[in-house]
Chains A and B, each alone.
Chain A
Amino acid sequence: MSVVLETRGLTKAFGGLVAVNDVSLQLHKGELLALIGPNGAGKSTCFNMLMGQLRPTKGSVHLMGEDITGLSPRVIWRRGVGRTFQITATYASMTVVENVQMALLSHNHQVLKVLPYAHKMHRDRAHELLEMVGMAEQADRHCAVLAYGDLKRLELAIALAHEPTLLLMDEPTAGMAPRERIALMQLTADIVRDQGVSVLFTEHDMDVVFAHSHRIMVLNRGQLIADGNVEAIRNDPRVQEVYLGGGTVFKSEDEAEDA
């Protein structure tokens, strides 16, 4: 299996605080890899380094064997990395399909054109992408009136617009109802299978993680403490300790909140 994404000794220090400490990971083609860990473990910092928002203090990031450390988010995107945000980011003044068209325009280096009508460009391809995430019927709705779960699906369509080899999803199901979470991750798993995309995602909901990921990596205090398949992680005493310490036994968030 070919390696899509690799980090070597990735480290980020904020002053004296080492948020991410010597993290080396590999993501293979077609893999759905979950990066989990309690709050403050360094997941987001890790993610931000992968996506170019933060520059690592030490270590490097490689995409398909090429060093992409320190490149800007825009360049990383052009190299074939798509992303979705923890808090959705969409163009509220546009229709659903226009949101996807915007990404397609950018992919085709057409955003500075002033003569053609934007809403006529790449419309069919945008519809295909919306079809893929089950949003085709809502294509012409105003983005600002969408339900939260639909926004998440729209974001996924935007992230897939340039046919990425790698998809980074930062807490893709945060803020969603339990049933929507399962549906969204099922959708993601299908896309991984059908499109051959590799996915790295962070997640708090253990049900989601255990149900859908191929492999799980656990981060605690900036360090990788475990790496393995679902069974292995479930039974790993160190992982249990980390999570018991946080007061979260392996239940869904909602149950934990109810308790």
Chain B
Amino acid sequence: MGLFIAQLLTGLANAGALFMVASGLSLIFGVTRIVNFAHGSFYMLGAYVGYTLIQVLPGVVGFWGAILLAGLAVGLIGMLVEILVLRPVYRAPELFQLVATFGVILVIQDLALMTWGPEDLLGPRSPGLVGVVRIMGEPVPKYDIALLVITPFVALALWYLMTQTRVGVLVRAATQDREMVGALGVNQAWLFTGVFALGCGLAGLGGALQLPKGGADLMMDFNILTAVFVVVVIGGMGSLPGAYLAAVIISVLNVFGVTYIPQSTLVLMFIVMVLVLMIRPYGLFGREEVAGEHGQVGEPERPIKPAGLQVRLLVAAGVAALAALPLYGSGFMQVLTTDILIFCLFAASLHFLLGLGGLVSFGHAAYFGGGAYVAGLLVKHAGTPMELAFILAPLGAGLGAFIIGWVCLRLTGVYFAMLTLAFAQLLWSLVFQWGEFTGGDDGILGLWPAKWLSGTTPYFYFTLVFSVGGVLFLRHVAHSPFGYALRAARDSERQAEATGINTRRVRMLAFSFAGFMAGLAGGLFVFSKGSIFPNELEITRSFDALIVVFLGGVKTLSGGIVGAAFFKGVEDVLTRFEYWRLAMGLLIIGVVILAPDGIVGTLRKWAERLGVLKRAEDES
């Protein structure tokens, strides 16, 4: 009994930081509609800044003052980020802003590395709260008790701010209808800035508060990000009580999980999330989103046409140049190009969903990594020949996508995105923690291609055929009745359903097809590396694909592959430098600001302005 209560208290204490970070994310999303990927980074900054301030300010007052100041400082940094990075891109297509926040993650990672070094920092003790108290004989850290007391006060203060003050009224009004609030004379720009700063400040406060428990390290940002997404989604987007309850559930679950079923703590969290969303699709306290017809901002997509003869010749020339690569390129160039080709196929498969279907999947790595693992596991456990394993990879991924799609497609918009993420994370945690079967963190090694494909050049050609073939087929399907039906469902579900199109079936098939293609890329990947690790299923891999689709231009057909080639190419050059993340992050932010329509979309507009391309009528 004592142990039970002690663990319950620890869980409740852990919920504090999680709640603060999650409520910040939830607030920011509610008002600005930005899914702030960088939210974990602000949490990390809070920890680092707090650490430094505590060194400077002595004593009890200094400790608590430092924590408050850390929150304040991170809030200010958030304000700066909002003004410099996000303001220029508010008018870009929906969700484009998350690319910018991804750039911010990279920049903050390297800035933290530069400033505080690569070593993990041990958290300072809280003066006066060192040691434990005994509760029914079980030790509970004094600091946990302090956190337990502080968190409800922060929650109450937030609740008061939101419900009892004019600022809160404005924020809640903006959550429901931004345009209306703007029309009523509220300065939207500063409201957004303020909310973003407040949200970041909360994350910073959370980071600083957990210092005595967890210290500060460079992995904090991504480590908390998934948990925060889970909390926000379980609680319901935009709901403070929901975020609090969900943070408590997740934290308590974690503490008990570590004690009783240590090998499946991660799985547990995601299973809870999936279950909650299946029963209450909008979270415990969330409400259904009232979106417009297709939830899109900005100008609508242009009509598409199959490529003309000129473009076809150009593509053929490009493929021929690639095919001749072994004649003039080094072995390294071939390996690099193989990587790029695989990534292009992966990105193109996501673009099919995102660009044509308007279906934002945050967990597309599940099918890429999933396909790779299907092949890997078959070879490892069943001694399957490589060729057969390679064929089964996309089939397995497609089947998985069909099942996951069946559940996720009951939701739309950001809830759909979050549920796809939840499933991807569930898969990742399964692979990560089920070590006996999947090899866990150590991955699966020794997965080499068949003899006739071994060697850099044969495998390069193998990849070339399937990647280019896959990309071209995806493109062809875009022009087929099925591709049109997918766009019709995105443009106007009402009209599509009213004219006999089963939009759910169309989306299910599109989701499975995209999963199949991602699995094909995964199959190519696993045999090109000879190994597979859980990080191919991870949230960062999903984000990579998402980023390149937006970067290339979600509203253009070739956005996916152009973004992927650009991203991989640049990454290869930059990773040779020590602070490559900083450079990459700044580059991404730069592209986002200069090319709000993505690389392809913006190039097209420039070409139209210069008269190189015919301008679409009445569109600017």
| Residues in chain A within 8 A of chain B (CB atoms) | 51, 73-74, 77-78, 83, 85, 89-95, 98, 101-103, 105-107, 110-119, 121, 141-145, 155, 158, 161-162
Across the interface, do A91 and B481 meet the contact criterion of CB distance under 8 Å? no
Could you say which residues of chain B place their CB within 8 Å of the CB of A117?
Answer: 306, 479-480
Across the interface, do B500 and A74 meet the contact criterion of CB distance under 8 Å? yes
A101 to chain B, nearest CB (A): 8
Across the interface, do A116 and B481 meet the contact criterion of CB distance under 8 Å? yes
Across the interface, do B498 and A142 meet the contact criterion of CB distance under 8 Å? no
Across the interface, do B498 and A83 meet the contact criterion of CB distance under 8 Å? yes
Q: In the complex the two chains form, what is the Cα distance from A158 to B495 in whole Å?
A: 9
Across the interface, do A85 and B481 meet the contact criterion of CB distance under 8 Å? no
> Does residue B485 face the partner (Cβ distance < 8 Å to A)?
yes
Segment at the interface with A among B15-23, B297-305, B442-450:
B297-305
Across the interface, do B293 and A121 meet the contact criterion of CB distance under 8 Å? no
Q: In the complex the two chains form, what is the Cα distance from A85 to B497 in whole Å?
A: 12
Cβ 8 A contact of A106, one of B476, B491, B500: B500
> Does residue B578 face the partner (Cβ distance < 8 Å to A)?
no
Q: Which of B294, B302, B488 has the most CB of A within 10 A?
A: B488
> Does residue B483 face the partner (Cβ distance < 8 Å to A)?
yes
Could you say which residues of chain B place their CB within 8 Å of the CB of A145?
Answer: 617-619
Across the interface, do B487 and A106 meet the contact criterion of CB distance under 8 Å? no
Across the interface, do B501 and A106 meet the contact criterion of CB distance under 8 Å? yes
Q: In the complex the two chains form, what is the Cα distance from A247 to B103 in whole Å?
A: 59
Residue of B nearest to A142 (CB): B303
Across the interface, do A90 and B481 meet the contact criterion of CB distance under 8 Å? no
Cβ 8 A contact of B492, one of A74, A91, A162: A91
Could you say which residues of chain A place their CB within 8 Å of the CB of B384?
Answer: none
> Does residue B482 face the partner (Cβ distance < 8 Å to A)?
yes
Given A74-B502, A89-B492, A91-B492, is A114 in contact with B484 using a C-beta cutoff of 8 Å?
Answer: no
Could you say which residues of chain A place their CB within 8 Å of the CB of B490?
Answer: 93
Across the interface, do B499 and A98 meet the contact criterion of CB distance under 8 Å? no
Given A74-B497, A105-B481, A144-B299, is A119 in contact with B487 using a C-beta cutoff of 8 Å?
Answer: no
Across the interface, do A141 and B302 meet the contact criterion of CB distance under 8 Å? no
> Does residue B410 face the partner (Cβ distance < 8 Å to A)?
no
> Does residue B494 face the partner (Cβ distance < 8 Å to A)?
yes
> What range describes how many residues of B lie at the interface?
35 or more
Across the interface, do B300 and A92 meet the contact criterion of CB distance under 8 Å? yes
> Does residue B291 face the partner (Cβ distance < 8 Å to A)?
no
B506 to chain A, nearest CB (A): 7
Offer 6 A-B interface pairs, CB within 8 angstroms, sorted by A.
A90-B491, A91-B487, A106-B501, A111-B485, A119-B479, A141-B617
> Does residue B133 face the partner (Cβ distance < 8 Å to A)?
no
Given A90-B492, A145-B618, is A73 in contact with B498 using a C-beta cutoff of 8 Å?
Answer: yes
> Does residue B509 face the partner (Cβ distance < 8 Å to A)?
yes
> Does residue B320 face the partner (Cβ distance < 8 Å to A)?
no
* Interface hits, B274-310 → A, CB 8 Å: 293-294, 299-306
Cβ 8 A contact of A93, one of B293, B303, B499, B617: B303
Across the interface, do A85 and B495 meet the contact criterion of CB distance under 8 Å? yes
Could you say which residues of chain A place their CB within 8 Å of the CB of B336?
Answer: none
Across the interface, do A114 and B499 meet the contact criterion of CB distance under 8 Å? no
Could you say which residues of chain A place their CB within 8 Å of the CB of B482?
Answer: 111-114
Across the interface, do A77 and B500 meet the contact criterion of CB distance under 8 Å? yes
Across the interface, do A94 and B499 meet the contact criterion of CB distance under 8 Å? no
Across the interface, do A85 and B494 meet the contact criterion of CB distance under 8 Å? yes
Across the interface, do B303 and A89 meet the contact criterion of CB distance under 8 Å? no
Across the interface, do B303 and A94 meet the contact criterion of CB distance under 8 Å? yes
A118 to chain B, nearest CB (A): 4
Residue of B nearest to A103 (CB): B499
Across the interface, do A78 and B487 meet the contact criterion of CB distance under 8 Å? no
Across the interface, do A111 and B481 meet the contact criterion of CB distance under 8 Å? yes
Across the interface, do A142 and B619 meet the contact criterion of CB distance under 8 Å? yes
B496 to chain A, nearest CB (A): 8
Could you say which residues of chain B place their CB within 8 Å of the CB of A98?
Answer: 303, 484
Q: Residues 488-530 of chain B: 1 if any A CB is under 8 Å from the residue's CB, otherwise 0? A: 1011101111111110001001000000000000000000000
Across the interface, do A113 and B481 meet the contact criterion of CB distance under 8 Å? yes
Q: In the complex the two chains form, what is the Cα distance from A210 to B80 in whole Å?
A: 62
Across the interface, do B494 and A142 meet the contact criterion of CB distance under 8 Å? no
Across the interface, do A116 and B480 meet the contact criterion of CB distance under 8 Å? yes
Cβ 8 A contact of A114, one of B477, B617, B618: B477
